[in-house]
Structure 1
Amino acid sequence: MRLPSVIVLKEFVLQSRRPAFTRFNVFLRDRFSCQYCGKKFPTQDLTFDHLVPRSRGGTTNWKNVVTACSRCNLRKGNHLPESVKMYPKNKPRVPSNYELQENGRAFPPNHLHESWRDFLYWDSELEEGD
């Protein structure tokens, strides 16, 4: 079955007020930086860490999860930040859709299909029209 590589919406679709809680959106909120050591990493080298570990009653949500590199995640392990003196650079919070979109512009994907490039304006100058 043949499918188009690009589609166009004919009507506006209102976004939900809260962004979806996904691993990628956590990385995007934290700008692909480990919240403990502050270094930037490619997506495949990142994990997410529960500030309050699940084994200690922590939940998996925006306010208890931060981006961490593997090294820092292993170092923190099953401990509370206070007990190992590892505090996140930024307090975890629910981001806005706008914030995620803005962060996404700073980190354009490098795996786009060639046919999409004319439709996604990452940092290109736009032509003025009538």
Structure 2
Amino acid sequence: MSLGAGHALDGSVLVLNKFFMAVHVISARRAFCLLFKDLAEVVTIDDGQYSSFDFASWREVSEARLRFKEPDDEFVRTVHFEIQVPRIIRLMTYDRLPRQRVKFNRRNIFARDGNRCQYCGRRFTTSELSLDHVVPRIQGGRATWENIVCACLRCNVRKGGRTPVQAGIRLIREPVEPKTSPALRLKLSHRKYRSWKAFLDAAYWSVELE
């Protein structure tokens, strides 16, 4: 299948295992590959009703939906047809359970702190932020959820190799390990991913993000 290029293929798709449990988030490009190979099916929720479609039937549904396209709907044009980007797919044979621990990485730290400097409280782009050890490494501070925060370059330089108390500044919020995926919560803030909520109860909010 020759898919047209565009940001729609870079969108996110929630992946369920065969028991309808959320296990992963992948790009729409990967989702289409799985659908085309009959390794997954599309899952939709309309007025509380669940429906599933293989690639062929999803193509037919997409033709009908194209006539009543909503603002958040995204379509990909191929050589011969247009097909809607799914929001949820279910793997036909995958039965592994989701991860229960939020991955400790730069992206999740930025997401946890909302791209906000934890000293001055201002919001910055990712490129304007750094990660700061609350208790500096030279004083025994470790790289943990409770000791790493986002900091703008100005506050980071001002703090230097000191603790906030030593530098005369305060944290706007104590850093803690999140119980749910911060990056996933950001996704759920967008209307186009609202259908994910049906599968993301408290037990499964730590699905791994690419």
TM-score, normalised to structure 1's length? Answer: 0.73
Unaligned 5+ residue runs, structure 2?
Answer: 1-27, 35-89, 196-210
Q: Which amino acid in the other structure matches residue 123 of structure 1?
A: R
Matched residue, 1:123: 191
Larger CA Rg, structure 1 vs 2: 2
Once the two structures are superposed, the pairs formed by residues 103-118 of structure 1 within 5 Å of their partners are 103-106=186-189
Unaligned 5+ residue runs, structure 1?
Answer: 107-121
Residue 37 to residue 104, structure 1, CA distance change in 2 (3 Å): farther
Distance in 2 between residues matched to 1:13 and 1:5, nearest whole Å: 22
Bigger mean CA deviation after superposition, 41-50 or 6-15: 6-15
Residue 101 to residue 73, structure 1, CA distance change in 2 (3 Å): same
1:22 matched to 2:100:
no
- Is the 2:107–2:183 Cα contact (8 Å) retained in structure 1? no
Distance in 2 between residues matched to 1:76 and 1:98, nearest whole Å: 29
Matched residue, 2:161: 78
Once the two structures are superposed, the pairs formed by residues 37-76 of structure 1 within 5 Å of their partners are 37-76=120-159
The structure with more strand, counted as a fraction of residues: 2
Distance in 2 between residues matched to 1:96 and 1:71, nearest whole Å: 30
Q: What's the CA shift for 1:99?
A: 4.5
What is the aligned-residue RMSD (CA, Å)? Answer: 2.6
TM-score, normalised to structure 2's length? Answer: 0.47
Q: What's the CA shift for 1:96?
A: 1.8
1:93 matched to 2:176:
yes
1:6 matched to 2:41:
no
> Size of the alignment, in residue pairs?
110
Q: What's the CA shift for 1:101?
A: 1.9
Distance in 2 between residues matched to 1:100 and 1:70, nearest whole Å: 23
Distance in 2 between residues matched to 1:101 and 1:69, nearest whole Å: 24
Matched residue, 2:206: none
Matched residue, 2:116: 33
